[in-house]
Amino acid sequence: MALVPYVENSLPALSKLHNSSAQFHFANHDLRLAQDWKKLGVAAVVWDAAVVMCMYLELGKVEVKGKEAIELGAGTGLVGIVTALLGEFIDFLKGIKHDFTVSVNVIFLTFQGAKVTITDRQPALDFLSANVKANLPPDSQGAVVVSELTWGEGLEQYPAGGFELVLGADIVYLEDTFVPLLRTLEHLCSDTGVVLLACKIRYKRDTDFLSMLKQRFTVEEVYYDKQRDIHVYKSWKLPPREDL
């Protein structure tokens, strides 16, 4: 969500963020995401949390096929793009499982993935849209919408409880955003929906946000990538309290 200006950093661990692109293979697709740290800062690079989120989604622990999904603070759009592609890939795997000859009907699939709304703040939208267009096949483009969303603002533009899957990768890091972020999660997530957050726990304030989240959602850690030190949390709304 936050756009942080470019500051040159010579740390080897951050050098990959200065590359003009980052390449990945997810959902049976080769993806090439443009990066532009100098122009948009943190909003225009692929962070480890996004990669780990995609790894977790590929495990198939959360159903994405046919779901209404939304990504918050999307940046380069990697998570939203992979979510949109996963339904197609899952159908491909099912076809292989039942027919090892892989018939023509299995290979040429119609798009059946999630319907994904990929969001960020206005200054990042052109960059985000270009990445989405460059990495989705033509027959998948119609299932994805790139849209402006500043947390806590203009939420009436989005249907209350309209999303079955709400995604966020490395969006928990600015304390001033915690209240509007929580309000946004509550507004967007359906009563039976799931929120997935991929986070690096850097400071006490990050755990403070999880405590805030637990006041409104059931929160469960479902995945941990030790190498990258990234946690994935799955959350769903608590039942409404009954008045005594």
The amino acid occupying position 57 is: L
Predicted TM-score of the model (pTM): 0.84
Q: What local confidence, expressed as pLDDT, does residue 112 receive?
A: 53
Q: How many CB atoms lie within 10 A of CB 1?
A: 24
Give the contacts of 25 (CB within 8 A, at least 6 positions apart): 31
Q: Which of 17, 34, 43, 18 is nearest to 125 (CA)?
A: 43
Q: What local confidence, expressed as pLDDT, does residue 89 receive?
A: 52
CATH of domain 12-237: 3.40.50.150
The amino acid occupying position 14 is: L
Q: What local confidence, expressed as pLDDT, does residue 10 receive?
A: 42
Per-residue pLDDT of the chain (244 residues; tens, 9 = 90+): 444 333 444 444 455 677 889 999 999 999 999 998 888 888 889 999 999 999 999 999 999 988 999 999 999 999 999 999 996 654 444 444 444 443 333 333 344 567 999 999 999 999 999 999 999 998 888 889 999 999 999 999 999 999 999 999 999 989 999 999 999 999 999 999 999 999 999 989 999 999 999 999 999 999 999 999 999 999 999 987 765 4
How far is residue 108's CA from residue 104's CA, in Å, rounded to a whole number? Answer: 6
Domain range summary for the chain, segments of one domain joined by +? 12-237
Tokens of 183: 């309000």
